[in-house]
Chain A
Amino acid sequence: MQAFLSRLKLLAASLAIVVPSASAALADQVKVAVAANFTEAAKAIAAAFKADTGHEAALSFGSTGQLYAQITQGAPFEVFLAADAARPEKAVEEGFGVQGSAFTYAIGKIVLWSTDPNLVTGAQTLQAGRFDKIAIANPGTAPYGTAAIEAMSALNVYDSLQPKIVQGANIAQAYQFVKTGNAELGFVALSQIADNTDGSRWVVSDDLYDPIRQDAVLLKTGQGNPAAEAFLSFLKGAAAVALIEKFGYGVDIAE
Chain B
Amino acid sequence: MQGLSSEIWISVRLTVALAATTTVILLIVGTPVAWWLARSRARWKEAVAAVVALPLVLPPTVLGFYLLVALGPDGPGGAIAGLWGARTLAFTFEGLVIGSVVYSLPFVVQPIRNAFEAIGDRPLEVAATLRASPARVFWTVAMPLARPGFLTGAVLGFAHTVGEFGVVLMIGGNIPGETKVLSVAIYDFVETLQWREADILAAGMVVFAFAVILAMTLIEKRMRRAGS
Checking A65, A132, A135, A180 against B191 with a beta-carbon cut-off of 8 angstroms, the contacting residue is A65
**Does B191 contact A140, Cβ atoms closer than 8 Å?**
yes
Most buried by B among A68, A138, A169: A169
**Does A181 contact B170, Cβ atoms closer than 8 Å?**
no
Tell whether A65 pairs with B192 under 8 Å between CB atoms, given A166-B174, A167-B173, A182-B90: yes
**Does A169 contact B91, Cβ atoms closer than 8 Å?**
no
**Of residues 70 to 105 in B, which have CB atoms within 8 Å of A's CB atoms?**
71-74, 78, 86-88, 90-91
Give Cα A63–Cα B72 distance, bound, in whole angstroms: 25
Contacts of A184 in B (CB 8 A): 87
Checking A65, A69, A132 against B86 with a beta-carbon cut-off of 8 angstroms, the contacting residue is A132
Residue B154 at the chain A interface, CB threshold 8 Å: no
Q: How far is the CB of A53 from chain B (nearest CB, A)?
A: 33
Give Cα A133–Cα B72 distance, bound, in whole angstroms: 12
Tell whether A133 pairs with B88 under 8 Å between CB atoms, given A69-B190, A69-B191, A141-B188: yes
Q: How far is the CB of A245 from chain B (nearest CB, A)?
A: 29
Residue A177 at the chain B interface, CB threshold 8 Å: yes
Q: How far is the CB of B62 from chain A (nearest CB, A)?
A: 14
Closest residue of chain B to A69 (Cβ to Cβ) is B190
Give Cα A132–Cα B190 distance, bound, in whole angstroms: 30
With an 8 Å Cβ cutoff, the count of chain B residues facing the other chain is 24
Most buried by B among A68, A132, A140, A180: A180
Contacts of B139 in A (CB 8 A): none
Closest residue of chain A to B191 (Cβ to Cβ) is A65
Contacts of A173 in B (CB 8 A): 169-170
Give Cα A245–Cα B188 distance, bound, in whole angstroms: 31
Residue A101 at the chain B interface, CB threshold 8 Å: no
**Of residues 125 to 148 in A, which have CB atoms within 8 Å of B's CB atoms?**
132-133, 135, 138, 140-141
Closest residue of chain B to A141 (Cβ to Cβ) is B191
Tell whether A63 pairs with B191 under 8 Å between CB atoms, given A133-B87, A182-B71: yes
Q: How far is the CB of B85 from chain A (nearest CB, A)?
A: 9
Q: How far is the CB of B78 from chain A (nearest CB, A)?
A: 8
Checking A68, A135, A168, A182 against B73 with a beta-carbon cut-off of 8 angstroms, the contacting residue is A182
Residue B20 at the chain A interface, CB threshold 8 Å: no
Closest residue of chain A to B171 (Cβ to Cβ) is A182
Residue A225 at the chain B interface, CB threshold 8 Å: no
Tell whether A166 pairs with B91 under 8 Å between CB atoms, given A135-B173, A181-B72: yes
Q: How far is the CB of A166 from chain B (nearest CB, A)?
A: 3
Give Cα A3–Cα B173 distance, bound, in whole angstroms: 62
**Of residues 27 to 77 in B, which have CB atoms within 8 Å of A's CB atoms?**
68-69, 71-74
Closest residue of chain A to B194 (Cβ to Cβ) is A140
Give Cα A176–Cα B171 distance, bound, in whole angstroms: 10
Checking A66, A132, A138, A180 against B174 with a beta-carbon cut-off of 8 angstroms, the contacting residue is A138
**Does A180 contact B91, Cβ atoms closer than 8 Å?**
no
Residue B9 at the chain A interface, CB threshold 8 Å: no
Give Cα A138–Cα B185 distance, bound, in whole angstroms: 12
Give Cα A68–Cα B191 distance, bound, in whole angstroms: 8
Contacts of B73 in A (CB 8 A): 181-182
Contacts of A181 in B (CB 8 A): 72-74, 78, 87-88
**Of residues 181 to 202 in A, which have CB atoms within 8 Å of B's CB atoms?**
181-184
Give Cα A176–Cα B61 distance, bound, in whole angstroms: 13
**Of residues 191 to 220 in B, which have CB atoms within 8 Å of A's CB atoms?**
191-193
Contacts of B74 in A (CB 8 A): 180-181
Contacts of A141 in B (CB 8 A): 188, 191-192
Give Cα A184–Cα B90 distance, bound, in whole angstroms: 12
Give Cα A101–Cα B91 distance, bound, in whole angstroms: 41
**Does A177 contact B90, Cβ atoms closer than 8 Å?**
yes
Q: How far is the CB of B130 from chain A (nearest CB, A)?
A: 55
**Does A180 contact B69, Cβ atoms closer than 8 Å?**
yes
**Does B173 contact A177, Cβ atoms closer than 8 Å?**
yes
Give Cα A168–Cα B172 distance, bound, in whole angstroms: 8
Closest residue of chain B to A90 (Cβ to Cβ) is B193
Q: How far is the CB of A132 from chain B (nearest CB, A)?
A: 5
Query: Known contacts A180-B68, A183-B173; can you find 5 more A-B pairs with CB under 8 A?
Result: A166-B173, A169-B187, A173-B169, A181-B74, A181-B88
What are 6 inter-chain pairs, A to B, with CB distance below 8 A?
Answer: A65-B191, A135-B173, A140-B188, A166-B91, A168-B173, A183-B173
Q: Which residues of A contact B (CB under 8 A)?
A: 63, 65-66, 68-69, 132-133, 135, 138, 140-141, 166-169, 173, 176-177, 180-184
